[in-house]
């Protein structure tokens, strides 16, 4: 299967055991997520967060209630469990990796599938403001760890040459050979849990390990592409791991492989 490698783009952490899913979804759920399937979560305290990007001018302060969020992107193993149980369906996008390693981030499952998975797990997709708070903190910064350029300990594509960044996130490359510039096997490019040094202050790992991350639309979003209940969008960056911009997500999204996470309200923890 074709491998995609591209430009990837006060809180506390706790690990809790996920009880059985409490939600239902419109996909005809045949059960609830197994106990422990979503046990690794970061707990984020209630706070005001500035919704915006480090190099952007659009700003809005948003009050965000306490929540828990997937510590890592949902994996192939987790997503395939949902497919086997019935609520989720096998993704058809060319950038999906349904037959990838069990611990790889599940790519390009589609907004409907992502919503179905989170609902089956008793949660939902994160709003953009929730994602900002968990992924980079209360104020805009370019990376989950701060504003400094990524190191190989923080992101597997930290050493992508500047000359290869010109195409931004729109350009996907298959010519790295067997290893990346950081000396990692291409087979590990989407493997979660391998770059703890890049975690956010909330404990969120693998932030933009993939070129984009999916978040749900919200009626009060200050970004028009995310404003509305059905306007799911993708956060992405111009260089590996960077939190630079947002665009509308669609079921036919092909150019930018993306991952997703789920959130649970404080009461659902």
Mean pLDDT throughout 208-237? Answer: 85
Please check the confidence at residue 178 and state whether its pLDDT lies above 90: no
- E-assigned strands of the chain? 5-6, 41-44, 47-51, 60-64, 67-70, 172-173, 212-215, 233-236, 245-248, 258-260, 263-265
Q: Which residue has the tokens 């009050």?
A: 63
pLDDT at 104: 96
Please check the confidence at residue 162 and state whether its pLDDT lies above 80: no
Question: Which of the two residues, 65 and 3, has the higher pLDDT score?
Answer: 65
Span of 48-62, 154-168, 196-210 with lowest mean pLDDT: 154-168
Global pTM reads: 0.82
Mean pLDDT throughout 121-137? Answer: 96
Span of 119-123, 154-158, 164-168, 259-263 with lowest mean pLDDT: 164-168
Q: How far are the Cα atoms of 33, 66, 178, 222 from residue 76, in angstroms, in the given order?
A: 15, 27, 22, 32
Q: Percent of the chain beyond pLDDT 90?
A: 55
Q: Which residue has the tokens 């828990």?
A: 68
Mean pLDDT throughout 179-204? Answer: 89
Could you state, in order of their start, the residue ranges of all structural domains in the chain?
1-269
- CA count, 13 A, side-chain hemisphere, 90: 7
pLDDT at 170: 38
pLDDT at 97: 92
The tens digit of pLDDT for each residue in 213-222 reads 999 888 778 7
Please check the confidence at residue 268 and state whether its pLDDT lies above 90: no
pLDDT at 163: 52
CA distance 85 to 81: 6
Q: Are strands 60-64 and 172-173 parallel, antiparallel or unpaired?
A: unpaired
User: What rounded mean pLDDT belongs to the chain?
Assistant: 82
pLDDT at 250: 73
Domain 1-269 grouped into CATH 2.60.40: no
111 burial via Cβ count (<10 Å: 0-12, 13-18, 19+): buried
Q: Percent of the chain beyond pLDDT 70?
A: 78
Mean pLDDT throughout 142-147? Answer: 96
CA distance 225 to 199: 27
Residue 22: pLDDT band (50, 70, 90) is very low
């Amino acid at each position: 299967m074709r491998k995609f490698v591209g430009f990837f783009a006060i809180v506390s952490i706790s690990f809790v055991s996920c009880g059985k899913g409490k939600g239902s979804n419109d996909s005809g759920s045949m059960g609830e997520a197994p106990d422990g399937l979503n046990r690794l979560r970061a707990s984020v305290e209630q706070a005001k967060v500035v919704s915006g990007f480090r190099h952007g001018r659009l700003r809005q302060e948003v009050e965000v209630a306490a929540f828990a969020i997937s510590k890592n992107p949902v994996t192939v193993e987790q997503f395939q469990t949902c497919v086997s149980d019935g609520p989720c369906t096998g993704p058809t996008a060319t950038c999906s990796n349904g037959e990838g390693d069990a611990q790889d981030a599940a790519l390009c499952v589609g907004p409907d599938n992502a919503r179905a998975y989170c609902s089956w797990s008793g949660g939902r997709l994160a709003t953009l403001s929730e994602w900002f708070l968990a992924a980079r903190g209360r104020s805009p910064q370019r990376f989950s760890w701060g504003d400094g350029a990524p190191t190989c300990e923080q992101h597997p594509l930290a050493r992508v040459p500047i000359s290869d960044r010109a195409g931004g996130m729109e350009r996907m490359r298959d010519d790295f050979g067997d290893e990346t510039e950081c000396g990692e096997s291409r087979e590990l490019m989407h493997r979660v849990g391998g770059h703890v040094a890049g975690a956010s202050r909330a404990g969120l790992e693998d932030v933009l390990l993939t070129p984009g991350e999916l978040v749900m639309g919200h009626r009060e979003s200050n970004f028009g592409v995310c404003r509305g209940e059905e306007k799911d969008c993708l956060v992405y960056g111009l260089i590996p791991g960077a939190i630079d911009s947002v665009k509308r997500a669609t079921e036919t999204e092909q150019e930018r492989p993306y991952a997703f996470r789920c959130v649970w309200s404080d009461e659902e923890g």
